[in-house]
Amino acid sequence: MVCAKYVEKITITSDVSEIVGGYLNTPYLKDVVLVDNNNLVSIDKVIYSANKEKLYMYPGGLEAKEFTIPDHVNYINLYAFSYVENLEKIIVGPNVKLSDGMFAFCTSLKSIEINNNTMYFPEICFAFCTNLTSIKLPDNVVISRLHRYCFQGCYSLQRLDFNNKLVIVQEGCFQECRSLVDVDFSLLYKIPEKCFKLCEMERINLHMSGNMKTISQEAFMDSKLVEFICPENLMIVEEYTFSNCTSLKNFKFNDKIAKICDSSFSSVGLDELFIPNSLMNINTSSFRDSPFIQFKFSEEGHPVYYVEGNCFMNKTGGLMFILYRNGSSYEIPNHVKIISKESIMDAKYYQFVINSDTTDSSFLYFSDYHLRICVTTPNYVSYSKEDCQMKIYDRNNVDRYAKEGPYEPTYKLNNNLYMEDSFLHVYESITDSTQDAYNVNQSLPFLESLNSYSSLLAVLVSLVSVLLVVIIILSIIALKITHE
């Protein structure tokens, strides 16, 4: 059961043994009435288990600004403080065991005081405590582990103001922390996936040391970073790490970086990037949708990669990717000796012109129907009869699914497509659900001439049907007369 947003009172009957606050609580809920229920107990309108050891729900509409967890409580249920409207401070006693999601979605909470000897914060512990700015712990307590999505959505959190020596930080821990400017990662060997995704500050001081070797996938994706300097021993940047960081203008690799993965720098705001000689593994899509980066290399040149014209190349003559788009058709330069589907599929040109005499023909067989390939000589495939024959697509035809007459919506091709000598074939099949039926699509151009006879055909079919019925009746009568 999920309560409506403006519910102020809930009645719980005898058959309910447990509740989850996240499903029942609202910012307006002020009273939970227990009717003949021996499994739960209400103390000052806060709901506990019958033995008072588990806190199930703190009603979101209570007016208190501060709440101290009673000494008899040793466990706080998932989402127990969700959607609380007025509570700004919670004091947790030494008997309480920290649990997953215990304070999640407590949107009014600004500070919390925890008085036990914990060494970690569990999963989604403070997730979407949007006003949380301070966590107070005993002086002798040091936090070393932050579990998955621990601080996700803590919009107001700027830094960790408690003692910490982080050695384990899990996925998405600071995701959507819009105000975060400082966190100590000096003991970590990698930044976990999605850790700072959707963060909005231009700079975050991570205190990274020589321990840092890897930045995991989506770690800074969709963030507002403007600058990132790689730590001295960083070696790997994984998939989508800086994807869609459109404000990122300054990025500096170290001289030990070895690998950047798929879309690690897709749709970034970089204008210039130096590729060090240590970076020997670049994916064809590492810089997808980042077409205006000017790549720089050392004076002696990179051992594997170089830029010539509009092409980012490797020294085998292979095209890695096209740097920027200019026009709708692109002619692959003659210095390109090897291409693959992956190297051109993201370039968003309508057509690619390839000189098959200077390109390895084995790389010209593309199964992806999105690619329009025009080859300047006919000898690269035995069945081609003409140069640069175009594959016909009708994707932009607004009438492609137009309904005609009594028929269901079908796929209609423009007749003009059949008037050109260069017509080769059509990739797309009939889109009606009966596409496998024989000649079901009567709006195809070569059947349009039948439409004018549709009324006459209907009349003829009706007459034939009537005649068949009459013949059957007469046959039955004749058989009866014969038997008599």
- Give dist(CA 180, CA 390) in Å, integer: 53
Asked whether residue 220 is assigned to any structural domain, the reply reads: no
**Confidence grade of residue 121 (pLDDT, cut at 50, 70, 90):** very high
**Cα-Cα-Cα-Cα dihedral of 450, 454, 458, 464, to 10°?**
-30
Per-residue pLDDT, averaged over 131-136, amounts to: 97
- Give dist(CA 53, CA 50) in Å, integer: 8
Q: Which amino acid is at 484?
A: E
Q: Which helix or strand (DSSP H or E) is residue 321 part of?
A: strand 319-322
- The per-residue pLDDT for 377 is 58
Tens digit of each residue's pLDDT (9 = 90 or more) over 236-281? 999 999 999 999 999 999 999 999 999 999 999 999 999 999 999 9
Asked whether residue 123 is assigned to any structural domain, the reply reads: no
- Give dist(CA 18, CA 54) in Å, integer: 10
Better pLDDT: 378 or 307: 307
Predicted confidence (pLDDT) at residue 452 exceeds the cutoff of 90: no
- The per-residue pLDDT for 367 is 45
Predicted confidence (pLDDT) at residue 361 exceeds the cutoff of 60: no
- Give dist(CA 228, CA 203) in Å, integer: 8
- The per-residue pLDDT for 206 is 96
Predicted confidence (pLDDT) at residue 326 exceeds the cutoff of 90: no
Predicted confidence (pLDDT) at residue 164 exceeds the cutoff of 50: yes
Per-residue pLDDT, averaged over 217-231, amounts to: 97
Domain range holding 427? 304-381+407-432
3-class secondary structure, 150: coil
Q: Are 188 and 164 in contact (CB under 8 A)?
A: no
Query: Cβ neighbours of residue 474 under 8 Å, at least 6 residues apart?
Result: none
- Give dist(CA 370, CA 186) in Å, integer: 46
| Three-point CA angle 207, 210, 215, nearest 5° | 75
Asked whether residue 32 is assigned to any structural domain, the reply reads: no
Provide the CA 184 distance to its chain's centre, in angstroms.
28
Kindly state the percentage of the chain with pLDDT values over 70.
Answer: 78
- The per-residue pLDDT for 371 is 56
Tens digit of each residue's pLDDT (9 = 90 or more) over 287-308? 999 988 999 999 999 999 999 9
- The per-residue pLDDT for 401 is 52
Q: What is the DSSP string of 335-362?
A: T--B--HHHHTTS--SEEEE-TTTS-GG
Predicted confidence (pLDDT) at residue 414 exceeds the cutoff of 90: no
- The per-residue pLDDT for 369 is 43
- The per-residue pLDDT for 456 is 66
Asked whether residue 367 is assigned to any structural domain, the reply reads: yes
Q: Are 166 and 185 in contact (CB under 8 A)?
A: yes
Predicted confidence (pLDDT) at residue 413 exceeds the cutoff of 60: no
Better pLDDT: 155 or 398: 155
Asked whether residue 56 is assigned to any structural domain, the reply reads: no
Asked whether residue 87 is assigned to any structural domain, the reply reads: no
Kindly state the percentage of the chain with pLDDT values over 90.
Answer: 60
**Confidence grade of residue 443 (pLDDT, cut at 50, 70, 90):** very low
CA-wise closest residue to 166 among 182, 150, 148, 188 = 188
Query: Cβ neighbours of residue 55 under 8 Å, at least 6 residues apart?
Result: 46, 47, 48, 69, 73, 75, 76, 77, 80
**Confidence grade of residue 383 (pLDDT, cut at 50, 70, 90):** very low
- The per-residue pLDDT for 149 is 98
State the chain's mean pLDDT as an integer. 83
Better pLDDT: 63 or 343: 63
C-alpha to C-alpha distances, 428 to 391, 414, 417, nearest whole angstrom: 11, 13, 14
Asked whether residue 212 is assigned to any structural domain, the reply reads: no
Q: Which amino acid is at 375?
A: V
Tens digit of each residue's pLDDT (9 = 90 or more) over 77-109? 999 999 998 999 999 999 999 999 999 999 999
**Confidence grade of residue 459 (pLDDT, cut at 50, 70, 90):** confident
**Confidence grade of residue 423 (pLDDT, cut at 50, 70, 90):** very low
Burial letters 85-113, b for 16+ CB under 10 A, else e: bebbbbebbeebebbbbbbbbbbbbbbbb
Per-residue pLDDT, averaged over 450-459, amounts to: 59
Asked whether residue 116 is assigned to any structural domain, the reply reads: no
Q: Are 166 and 143 in contact (CB under 8 A)?
A: yes
Strand partners, 92: 114
| Three-point CA angle 154, 127, 55, nearest 5° | 130
| Three-point CA angle 156, 160, 165, nearest 5° | 155
Tens digit of each residue's pLDDT (9 = 90 or more) over 7-33? 899 999 989 988 887 788 899 999 999
Q: How many domains does the chain have?
A: 1
Per-residue pLDDT, averaged over 366-370, amounts to: 47
Per-residue pLDDT, averaged over 436-454, amounts to: 44
CB-count burial class (<10 Å; 0-12, 13-18, 19+) for 221:
buried
Strand partners, 331: 353
Strand partners, 193: none
**Long-range pairs for 165-168 at CB < 8 Å and ≥24 separation?**
168/120, 168/144
Per-residue pLDDT, averaged over 398-421, amounts to: 51
Strands of the sheet containing 319-322, edge to edge, are 305-308, 311-314, 319-322
Better pLDDT: 389 or 455: 455
Q: Are 65 and 41 in contact (CB under 8 A)?
A: no
